[in-house]
């Protein structure tokens, strides 16, 4: 199946946002948590490293999912591939 230029542009934007969000996921999952043990201050009464591992990463994951869904809904509407109202 041959993709039109519009389809290629749509998938290019899709892949770009996916790569960006996966980069953020990798940074939060591995980089921040790895260096968090060096952060020795308290955050809301808990050591910051514990907070990052237990709460911070989960908040970022939820934000990534929310942003991706919002972005893709707008992109689908822009390119006319949304589900629409039937």
**43-85, pLDDT tens digit by residue?**
778 777 777 777 888 999 999 999 999 999 999 999 988 887 5
Indicate if the pLDDT at residue 8 is higher than 80: yes
pLDDT of residue 82: 82
Q: Where are the alpha helices (DSSP H) in 1-86?
A: 5-26, 33-36, 48-51, 57-79
Domain ranges of the chain: 5-79
Tens digits of per-residue pLDDT, 12-48?
A: 999 999 999 999 999 988 888 787 777 777 777 877 7
pLDDT of residue 86: 52
β-sheet bridge partners, residue 43: 46
Model confidence, pTM: 0.79
**Cβ–Cβ < 8 Å for 33, 61:** no
Q: At what angle do helices 5-26 and 57-79 cross, to 10 degrees?
A: 170
Structure tokens at 75: 């992109």
């Amino acid at each position: 199946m041959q993709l039109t230029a519009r389809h290629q542009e749509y998938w290019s934007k899709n892949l770009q946002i996916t790569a960006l969000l996966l980069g953020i996921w990798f940074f939060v999952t591995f980089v921040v948590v790895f260096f968090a043990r060096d952060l020795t201050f308290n955050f809301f009464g808990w050591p910051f490293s514990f907070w990052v591992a237990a709460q911070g990463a989960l908040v970022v994951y939820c934000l990534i999912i929310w942003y991706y869904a919002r972005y893709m809904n707008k992109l689908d509407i822009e390119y006319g591939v949304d589900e629409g109202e039937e």
